[in-house]
Amino acid sequence: MELNTSDKYKNLHLFDDQYFVQLIQHHILEYHAHFAERLISIYVWGSVHRNEAIQGISDLDLHPFIRGPLRKTDHQWCRETQERLDREFPRARGLCPPRSIDDVLQSRQPGANKDLRSRHQALGFRLHYDATLVWGSDLTGEFELPTFTPSWVKEYFQPALDLTRYAAGLKKENTTDFSLSNETRQRLRKLARLGVLGGACLLMAQGRFRSFKGVDTIPVLKASYPQWTDFFDETQELYIHLTRSSNERVSRYLSQLVKWMDWIEKQLK
C-alpha cells in the first residue's frame, strides 16, 4: 500500500516510542486504502497519546472520522481488517469503525436531544484534552466543550472513585466501563493511573487542569499538597511502567489510593 497524502501525517514527532509510531502509520495506511477521499482525520487517544503506553499491553486507540455515513461494506472491512491486524500486531487493538462527521455536526444543532448533545460534548472533551491528531484535518473546533461545573466534575470523577472502591472490596460490583487486571504488575499500574486521574479531576474543579498526562498533573499536585508527597512519589513510579509487585504491595498502595480518592471526593463537595 502507498499513501499519496503522507503530508497529512501530523504530530508523530510527539511520540517517544517508535513502535507505536510505526503502528499508527500502518493503521493509517489501512484506513486510507479503504476510505480514500472519505477519510478526514485520525486521532489517537489514551495512553499512547500520553506517552504512557506499554507494548503488548496498551491499546492503540485510533479514532478516525469520515465524510458521509458508514456503509455495510465499511463494517465488513473493519471486521476483516481488525482480524488480520490482530494476527500481525497482537493486543494492539487499534482499528475501530470511523465516526461520520455528519453525525458530529448534527449533534451540535440546537434541536439535538440532551443525550446526543452530552455524547457530542464528551467526544469533544476527549479530543481536546486526551488525544493527538495523527493524520488529516483538526476537528476540535467542530465540537462544543462541556463547562467544568462542580456537578460535571463530580460526575466525571465518579467512575474512577467507584472502580477504586470496587478494587478495595468496598463495592460488590464493578459498575464502571473499566476493568482491572489480576496480574499484579498491571493491576498496580492501573491503580496508579486512577490516582493520576483523580488528581486531574481535582485540578479540573480548581480551573488548573491541562490534560490527563501524569507529567501535567503530578508536579502541580506535589506543589499544592505536600502532605501527599509520599503517595505522589509512589504513583509517579508506578503509573507508566510495570514494576515488580506482589499482592502485599498492591494492597498497601490501594489503601493509600482509597484515602486519596476519598479526600478528593470531599474537596469536590
Domains and CATH numbers, the chain: 6-142 (3.30.460), 150-268 (no CATH)
* Number of other CB atoms surrounding residue 99 within 10 Å: 16
What are the tens digits of pLDDT across the range 228-240? 999 999 999 999 9
Q: How many CB atoms lie within 10 A of CB 155?
A: 11
**Alpha carbon separation from 222 to 135, 160, 188, 196, 246 (Å, rounded):** 35, 20, 21, 12, 26
Task: Encode pLDDT of 67-79 as tens digits.
Answer: 999 999 999 999 9
5-32 confidence digits (pLDDT tens): 566 899 999 999 999 999 999 999 999 9
With 0-12 CB in 10 A as exposed, 13-18 as middle and 19+ as buried, what is 29?
A: middle
pLDDT reading at 2 higher than 50: no
User: Tens digit of pLDDT for each residue in 162-186?
Assistant: 999 999 999 999 999 999 999 999 9
Of 145 and 5, the structure prediction assigns the larger pLDDT to 145
Q: Is the pTM of this model over 0.85?
A: yes
* Cell numbers placing 76: 465488513
Q: Is 221 helix (H, G, I), strand (E, B) or coil?
A: helix
DSSP string, 24-82: HHHHHHHHHHHHGGGEEEEEEETTTTTT---TTTS---EEEEESSPPPHHHHHHHHHHH
> What is residue 3's predicted lDDT score, i.e. its pLDDT?
47
How is residue 213 annotated by DSSP? -
pLDDT digits (tens, 9 = 90+) for 195-215: 999 999 999 999 999 999 999
Residue 53 burial class via C-beta count within 10 angstroms: exposed 0-12, middle 13-18, buried 19 and up? buried
